[in-house]
Amino acid sequence: MSQEPTIHVMPPELAERIAAGEVVERPASVVKELVENSLDAGARAISVEVRAGGLALIRVNDDGRGMSRADAPLALARFATSKVHSPGDLEAITTLGFRGEALSSIAAVARLTILTRVAGELEGTRVEVEGSMPLASAQDTSQTGNGGAADGVPQPAASPIGTSVTVRDLFYNTPARRKFLKSPTRETELVRDTLVRYALAYPDIAFRLVVDGRERLIAPPASSLERIGLCLGREVAAEMLEIEWSAGDLRVGGFISRPTIGRSRRQGQFFFLNGRPIRSGLLAVMLERPYAGRLPVGRYPLAVVNIALDPRLVDVNVHPRKAEVRLAQERAVYQALTGAVVEALSPFPKQEALFPLGGAGWAGWPFDETVQELREGQAAYVVAGGAQSLGQVLNTYLVARTIEGLVVVDQHAAHEQVLYERLSASAEPHLLASPERLSLTAREAEMLRPALILLADLGFEIEPFGGDSFLVRAIPAPLADQSPAELLATLIDELRRLRDRDTEAIREGVAMKAACAAAVKAGDYLTEEEQQTLIDDLMLTWSPATCPHGRPAFITLTREELERRFLRR
């Protein structure tokens, strides 16, 4: 007797509901999608209303171009979009949406109503659906509606020009998802945060937020700085500096805070890429680095930064929720941001003594915050290009996750390379709290004396102190945690070994030796924070063009490699 097959293709409602889970995580993700649709429709004013944290109701009204009677039901079908037509269009996305999934996904987990009218039509259209709508029935406009039932059939209705999308009873049919939501107050906060992000990105568009019948945010069209004042506070706006940088068709502009103010977390930092909110640990790091020595350790600058880049150099289509974005010219973007920030901060002197640089000058990549925000659906796209540490293995290797796959880092080789790069780039001197006296043998002194200038280039400040004694006033900031006497003993040995070489070779040799001596060793335990900091530093300093020495600092296991090893391809 032949067995009945146990595998079957899912009924569309089930498939839709599963797929919807990827897009619609919580009320804030609904708001994000609907606001993006309004922006894509050219709206000049967008109004958002939520009730009971968005679970009872979310409504987004806009004055954009609206949808025709024929288009309105199509908008609800999966993979139905007016924004991309051919695979080529994916190469240069200029709209916020393009996957054609948002409305169908929302409809799969809520009761959805669209009321809309285009400028040319006298009468508007209403469509209501409950549960997802198969494409076939969306296209079949021959049906006539049966009087307001939620069947996806368009009905004539009075409507202003523009679109109003109402989402009721979110997750009524997915109780599991409901359980993961936070309190209505918290969900409302997340909705507000999402809206604030878009309000900051689009200051010339009016935004409004109504929560449980009370107006929580009214943002009329304004200048960027006025909008910052409204969203982040007037006292913040008063302390902002404008930044502006362009290189080719890359532009970085916006506002950053004077070192007079700072926050204890990064929640005041907003980055936009071609009008799309993005999150990126590396961008945060590039923003924060020039503040080192100007802002106390543990304080973070505020910033609203707009990056404009040829859309062909951006790949938005790497994540189902579009949570990640890939840049073709990451380094150029990071450099432009640093350049803009350094320039704006130049009138503010560094105060090394007050805010010592060195190991703990800035904290690492804010991946946890980023992941948390992604989880909470606060807009947020992550620029790929960083790596998240997953842990240490054998007290020697770090394992990290990147958008491409896995990276395994040799902690000593990596740290050595980071330190070497920093030393070669003329490290800043780190002044010792009290100068340290070195009493050397005659032979050692003879080695050290001619090398003082070369060592000064690396960030040492050492002066003769009579006879064979020297006074060490500063050591390179990247080596700040080393014992000056031990470090110099090692370097003097190295100077002796290299004494017959030319100056350049000696400089390089000494920098490498110093890096090797100061780097963490195989077998050293690293805290999670130390692991992440090392990985971030490696990602920032590593470049295939400059990577000098023999042993690799890391190996990557890309998706292709993993698939090959597991015989998936």
Answer for which of 24, 32, 38, 458 binds ligand ADP (CB under 6 A) is 38
67 binds, among Mg ion, ligand ADP, none (CB under 5 to 8 A by kind): ligand ADP
CB of 184 to ligand ADP, least distance (A): 25
| Residue among 427, 296, 428, 285 nearest 355 (CA) | 296
Q: Which of 79, 566 has the CB closer to ligand ADP?
A: 79
DSSP label at residue 87: G
Cα separations in angstroms, 414 against 359, 409, 426, 532, 542: 15, 7, 19, 12, 9
Cβ neighbour number for residue 553 with a 10 Å cutoff: 20
Touching Mg ion, residues 201-220 (CB under 5 A): none
Q: Is 297 exposed, middle or buried (0-12, 13-18, 19+ CB in 10 A)?
A: middle
Task: Report if residue 16 touches ligand ADP, rule: CB under 6 A.
Answer: no
DSSP 169-218: STTTT-HHHHHT---HHHHHHHHHHHHHHHHHH-TTSEEEEEETTEEEEE
Query: Which tokens sit at 317?
Result: 């289509």
Answer for which of 100, 152, 254, 385 binds ligand ADP (CB under 6 A) is 100
CB of 138 to ligand ADP, least distance (A): 11
Task: Report if residue 102 touches ligand ADP, rule: CB under 6 A.
Answer: yes
CB of 183 to Mg ion, least distance (A): 28
Cβ neighbour number for residue 435 with a 10 Å cutoff: 16
Q: Which of 22, 226 has the CB closer to Mg ion?
A: 22
Task: Report if residue 73 touches ligand ADP, rule: CB under 6 A.
Answer: no
- Which residues lie below 8 Å from residue 255, measured CB to CB, with a gap of 6+? 224, 225, 228, 240, 241, 242, 243, 303, 304, 305
Encoded amino acid at 382, one letter? V
CB of 48 to Mg ion, least distance (A): 15
SS3 content of the chain, % helix, strand, coil (to 5): 35, 25, 40
Answer for which of 29, 47, 132, 163 binds ligand ADP (CB under 6 A) is 163
Q: Are 372 and 520 in contact (CB under 8 A)?
A: no
Q: Is 30 helix (H, G, I), strand (E, B) or coil?
A: helix
Answer for which of 29, 81, 166, 274 binds ligand ADP (CB under 6 A) is 81
Q: Which of 38, 370 has the CB closer to Mg ion?
A: 38
Q: Which of 38, 155 has the CB closer to ligand ADP?
A: 38
Query: Which tokens sit at 539?
Result: 């990602």
Task: Report if residue 83 touches ligand ADP, rule: CB under 6 A.
Answer: yes
Q: Which of 42, 523 has the CB closer to ligand ADP?
A: 42
Pairing relationship of beta strands 57-62 and 162-168 according to DSSP bridges:
antiparallel
279 binds, among ligand ADP, Mg ion, none (CB under 5 to 8 A by kind): none
The residue nearest ligand ADP at its CB is 97
Residue with tokens 């050397």: 440
110 binds, among ligand ADP, Mg ion, none (CB under 5 to 8 A by kind): none
Q: What is the edge-to-edge ordering of all strands in the sheet holding 269-273?
A: 240-247, 250-257, 303-308, 269-273, 276-278
CB of 77 to ligand ADP, least distance (A): 8
DSSP 97-127: --SS-HHHHHHHTSEEEEEEE-TT-SSEEEE
Answer for which of 20, 55, 67, 419 binds ligand ADP (CB under 6 A) is 67
62 binds, among ligand ADP, Mg ion, none (CB under 5 to 8 A by kind): ligand ADP
Of 30-38, 369-377, 450-458, 492-500, the segment contacting ligand ADP by CB under 6 A is 30-38
| Residue among 165, 163, 135, 144 nearest 58 (CA) | 165
Q: Is the dihedral of CA 292, 293, 297, 303 positive or negative?
A: negative
DSSP label at residue 541: H
DSSP label at residue 23: H
CB of 273 to ligand ADP, least distance (A): 18
Of 101-109, 513-521, 522-530, 536-544, the segment contacting ligand ADP by CB under 6 A is 101-109
Backbone angles phi, psi at 354, to 5 degrees: -70, -40
Task: Report if residue 97 touches ligand ADP, rule: CB under 6 A.
Answer: yes
End-to-end CA separation in angstroms for the chain: 35
Q: Which of 118, 477 has the CB closer to Mg ion?
A: 118
Q: Is 470 helix (H, G, I), strand (E, B) or coil?
A: strand
Answer for which of 50, 55, 58, 75 binds ligand ADP (CB under 6 A) is 75
Touching Mg ion, residues 71-110 (CB under 5 A): 97, 102
CB of 564 to Mg ion, least distance (A): 36
Answer for which of 27, 53, 54, 64 binds ligand ADP (CB under 6 A) is 64
From residue 267 to residue 306, the character string flagging contacts with Mg ion as x (rule: CB under 5 A) and all else as - is: ----------------------------------------
Q: Are 27 and 53 in contact (CB under 8 A)?
A: yes
Residue with tokens 């080393």: 482
Task: Report if residue 46 touches ligand ADP, rule: CB under 6 A.
Answer: no
66 binds, among ligand ADP, Mg ion, none (CB under 5 to 8 A by kind): ligand ADP
Task: Report if residue 37 touches ligand ADP, rule: CB under 6 A.
Answer: yes
Touching ligand ADP, residues 320-379 (CB under 6 A): none
Task: Report if residue 66 touches ligand ADP, rule: CB under 6 A.
Answer: yes
| Residue among 34, 31, 52 nearest 43 (CA) | 34
Answer for which of 24, 29, 30, 37 binds Mg ion (CB under 5 A) is 37
User: d(Cα 317, Cα 149) in Å, to the nearest integer?
Assistant: 36
Task: Report if residue 58 touches ligand ADP, rule: CB under 6 A.
Answer: no
Binding footprint of Mg ion, residue count (CB under 5 A): 3
Of 9-17, 77-85, 327-335, 490-498, the segment contacting ligand ADP by CB under 6 A is 77-85
Query: Which tokens sit at 274?
Result: 């071609």
What are the residues binding Mg ion (CB under 5 A)?
A: 37, 97, 102
- Binding interface with ligand ADP (CB under 6 A): 33, 37-38, 41, 62, 64-67, 75, 80-83, 97-104, 163
